[in-house]
Structure 1
Amino acid sequence: MYLKAHVHLDEPYTHQAVVKALENSKKLKWIIDQGIDESHAEADLADVQLQWLEYELINWQHLAMDKNTLANAYCIRKGLIRKSQMAYNMTKYLSKNPTSILKKAIPETWLFELYDVDYFEEAMNEVYEVERDLQKGHMFIIKPSMANKAAGIKVFDSLDDLRAMFEVEDSDSENDDGSDQEDLTQVREWVIQRYIDKPLLVEKRKFHVRAYVLAKSNIQVYLYKDMLALFAMKDYDTTNLEDNLIHLTNTCLQADEEGYNEQASVKLFWELGLAQEDLNHMFDQMKAILADVFDACTSEMTTFQTMPNAFELFGVDFMMDQDLNVYFLEANAVSFSICVFYYHYWY
């Protein structure tokens, strides 16, 4: 008996990997339709058992009506992948579960909403703890709620530095290369987090761990043990907060920099040269943290709705401090092009 699958992923390499995996399946035989276009999301599907597609192409109505159909994403999961919504869910969860590991594993976080720089002081009144601790010399990091690839992220230790982010004279300007720059003055929703200022360093550089998590059905969560350590390009230095190559560990910021060395910026977690006991200790914390993160998010059904016939791969980021405490930074819907980059690195 043959089953039907609709497959379309924008990244050609990953698309072909999925097709090949289905074709090589020993237990199931698949008829694979790869001619999927934008009309698929509203098409009248008949007898389709698998939709492995970009999120926008998935026919959610068919998925809800036919429990024999499987799809590679959850329809509603902004409670996990949207920074402000996740922060809200974590705060609510901790109010009900004060002994959760998340009490220590989630950096203290504030929602920061700013509609115009003229109202900066009023916005700061809503996060008075931040303003108070800036006067004590504390450092913070601000992130747009919905951006990715490190866009708009800044480390700061003064109100003047924070305000300067929003005082852009010409928001319609272009980058030096002629491409349109992202207009951060139009971003209304941000999160501010207390900066982890004593991170675990390897070879004097800061790093974070990128791990992949498979969530399926209602809900089982699996952490893939092979993880990456993504390094900042420059040695760690808290006296210079302006240079993102010191403080941000996203490889997308480094690729076009002179002297960029992929082998120095991307390493395997289990080959960092740390004691095996310490690596195991951090990995155990990651598993415990993820259990409570997904429990917190899925308990809020308006922002994360599990489905018995769905699965999804998420990229999650962790950071460790000098005492080997693990912190959960964020989760992202996986970019298939990033998956391909990591696939090439591993294999």
Structure 2
Amino acid sequence: MTEMVRKITLSRAVRIMQNLFPEEYNFYPRSWILPDEFQLFVAQVRMVKDGDPSWKPTFIVKPDSGCQGDGIYLIKDPSDIRLSGTLQSRPAVVQEYICKPLLIDKLKFDIRLYVLLKSLEPLEIYIAKDGLSRFCTEPYQEPSPKNLHHIFMHLTNYSLNIHSGNFIHSDSTSTGSKRTFSSILYRLSSKGVDIKKVWSDIISLVIKTVIALTPELKVFYQSDIPAGRPGPTCFQILGFDILLMKNLKPILLEVNANPSMRIEHEQELSPGVFENVPSLVDEEVKVAVIRDTLRLMDPLKKKRESQSQLLGKSLASKENAPHSDLASASQGNANPDAHLPSICLKQVFPKYAKQFNYLRLVDRMANLFIRFLGIKGTMKLGPTGFRTFIRNCKLSSSSLSMAAADILYIDITRRWNSMTVDQRDSGMCLQAFVEAFFYLAQRKFKMLPLHEQVASLIDLCEYHLSLLDEKRLVCGRSGTSSASRLQPSGTPQEAVPPAPPAEGRPQPCTDGAHKVSHSRHTVS
């Protein structure tokens, strides 16, 4: 999971979704991956500046493996000499810097929200009802060459600002340099801000981000869990870092796979002597997240509930038992969570699945990718697997021979492997497969938007594979029947397959894969 939310991996996953649904994924800043896309970064910035000489952007450079603000800095131009050092040292992501954030008390702040990924299949997402608001410790000014190096003004990382002389540890959840997000919402509400709209936009951002990440997670998961067997009860608490712009639009900064769960901070009593002091804000938010995660993930919860129901029925059938004894017995076996506070984690998926399922195109591509992997434990598709995919999905034609498919595999795989640090496994990774799939979709359905091209090709592949599966099933039944020398009373009835998708247009999907009219979502 840690690999999946590193800055480069996250940027690539979101970029795929931005190509498919640009309006839906405009909550993530435009990003370039260094060193691979440095020349592209330079060319695109130069092109925009040539078209608009008044454009004076600021960019933020984030090392891929960095954490707690380590190695982050701001630049005004790709020619900044520090970039050359980044190119030579370690991979990084460079993004457009958000110059107009929402300010509270003239200070920039971000939001740390805790998200529980309870299950991959089926996908289950929970969001904590409260989070942390982490403040800078120097009044904000828009970036200029004079203040680019003022980290306490521009970077909200707690691990950086804790070293500022202006950092305020407060005994209140609504003051100081770290506050509860609920206190910020209360303050905004008092100024007439539509808090439900803010929460709705944040929930939408979280769901869309997880949808972007789950395809690769599925590939990782299948490499460890045997097919056809229930996997272990896995879960992950993610830390989403979100910035509110001045117009209250939420922007995704990054996702942390191992968010800090400390509920205290160090206080220096005397030179070299430190003491851990409880943090009221951290305790209020984080204890609830951990407690309720364990309540949701309790593997014995369903067993206790079923036993309690059986016991209740048994007690109810004993008419001769005194009423007081029945009451005490039923109370003794009541929900053990009854004395705990109401759960702080709110389910947002599959609760709002109907509004977002049409975005899960890459998820369906990942299922195709996994089907043709072949060797258990691998996460890369070999040339034989790719050829089998082309053949079984009936994608070869006069315009795309198997030889052309082989060349496509070689070209895309070679380029992606050159960008991968880990060269232990050879073959086509999921993101390379997605690129190849996009290419095939654009060739076959030329007159449609990209997301409809991709959805149509997925439908076509799934249709042909369903026919193949049905044929294998019928052959298997026939083989079993012949082996046991049964005398059938009639010819086996083969299931009627669905009609093939039309070549030029996408067909309606029951899971809403083509409902592209949802440009905005209202969730509560």
Taking a change above 3 Å as real, the CA distance of residues 133 and 155 of structure 1, as seen in their structure-2 partners, is: farther
Contact 2:137 2:164 in 1 (8 A): no
Structure 2: distance between partners of 1:303 and 1:147: 25
User: How far apart are 1:144 and its partner, in Å?
Assistant: 0.5
Structure 1: distance between partners of 2:119 and 2:59: 37
Taking a change above 3 Å as real, the CA distance of residues 337 and 299 of structure 1, as seen in their structure-2 partners, is: closer
Paired residue secondary structure (2:165): coil
Number of the residue aligned with 1:194: 96
Contact 2:34 2:87 in 1 (8 A): no
Q: Larger deviation: 297-306 or 192-201? A: 297-306
Highest RCO, 1 vs 2 (Cα 8 Å, sep ≥ 6):
1
User: How far apart are 1:164 and its partner, in Å?
Assistant: 2.7
Number of the residue aligned with 1:82: 6
1:237 corresponds to 2:237: no
1:281 corresponds to 2:197: yes
Contact 2:112 2:131 in 1 (8 A): yes
Taking a change above 3 Å as real, the CA distance of residues 132 and 203 of structure 1, as seen in their structure-2 partners, is: farther
1:156 corresponds to 2:75: yes
Equivalent positions of 1:216-231 (< 5 A) are 216-218=118-120, 219-231=123-135
Which of 145, 161, 184 is the equivalent residue of 1:254?
A: 161
Which AA in structure 2 matches 1:124?
A: F
Percent identity over paired residues = 25
Number of the residue aligned with 1:107: 29
Structure 2: distance between partners of 1:265 and 1:331: 21
Contact 2:237 2:258 in 1 (8 A): yes
User: How far apart are 1:308 and its partner, in Å?
Assistant: 5.9
Structure 2: distance between partners of 1:344 and 1:323: 30
Equivalent positions of 1:279-318 (< 5 A) are 279-301=195-217, 305=221, 309-318=233-242
Number of the residue aligned with 1:265: 177
Contact 2:114 2:131 in 1 (8 A): yes
Number of the residue aligned with 2:114: 212
Contact 2:135 2:177 in 1 (8 A): yes
| 5+ residue gaps, structure 1 | 1-75, 115-122, 168-183
User: How far apart are 1:258 and its partner, in Å?
Assistant: 2.0
Paired residue secondary structure (1:92): helix
Equivalent positions of 1:121-140 (< 5 A) are 124-127=38-41, 128-133=43-48, 136-140=55-59
- Please state which structure has a larger fraction of its residues in strand: 1
Taking a change above 3 Å as real, the CA distance of residues 259 and 190 of structure 1, as seen in their structure-2 partners, is: same
TM-score relative to the length of structure 1: 0.64
Structure 1: distance between partners of 2:217 and 2:137: 40
Q: CA RMSD in A?
A: 2.6
Q: Larger deviation: 189-198 or 292-301? A: 292-301
Taking a change above 3 Å as real, the CA distance of residues 302 and 339 of structure 1, as seen in their structure-2 partners, is: farther
The number of equivalent residue pairs is 244
Paired residue secondary structure (1:258): coil
1:8-37 deviation line (CA, Å, top 9, x unaligned): xxxxxxxxxxxxxxxxxxxxxxxxxxxxxx
User: How far apart are 1:99 and its partner, in Å?
Assistant: 4.3
User: How far apart are 1:282 and its partner, in Å?
Assistant: 1.6
TM-score relative to the length of structure 2: 0.43
Taking a change above 3 Å as real, the CA distance of residues 339 and 296 of structure 1, as seen in their structure-2 partners, is: farther
Structure 1: distance between partners of 2:155 and 2:242: 13
Structure 2: distance between partners of 1:138 and 1:111: 18
Paired residue secondary structure (2:202): helix
Structure 1: distance between partners of 2:105 and 2:27: 24
Taking a change above 3 Å as real, the CA distance of residues 339 and 194 of structure 1, as seen in their structure-2 partners, is: farther
- Please state which structure has a larger fraction of its residues in helix: 2
Paired residue secondary structure (1:211): strand
Taking a change above 3 Å as real, the CA distance of residues 96 and 223 of structure 1, as seen in their structure-2 partners, is: same
User: How far apart are 1:328 and its partner, in Å?
Assistant: 1.0
Give structure 1 regions of 4+ aligned residues with deviation exceeding 6 angstroms.
Answer: none
Which AA in structure 1 matches 2:45?
A: V
Paired residue secondary structure (2:61): strand
Contact 1:144 1:187 in 2 (8 A): no
Contact 1:211 1:228 in 2 (8 A): yes
Which of 58, 62, 70 is the equivalent residue of 1:143?
A: 62
Contact 1:278 1:324 in 2 (8 A): no
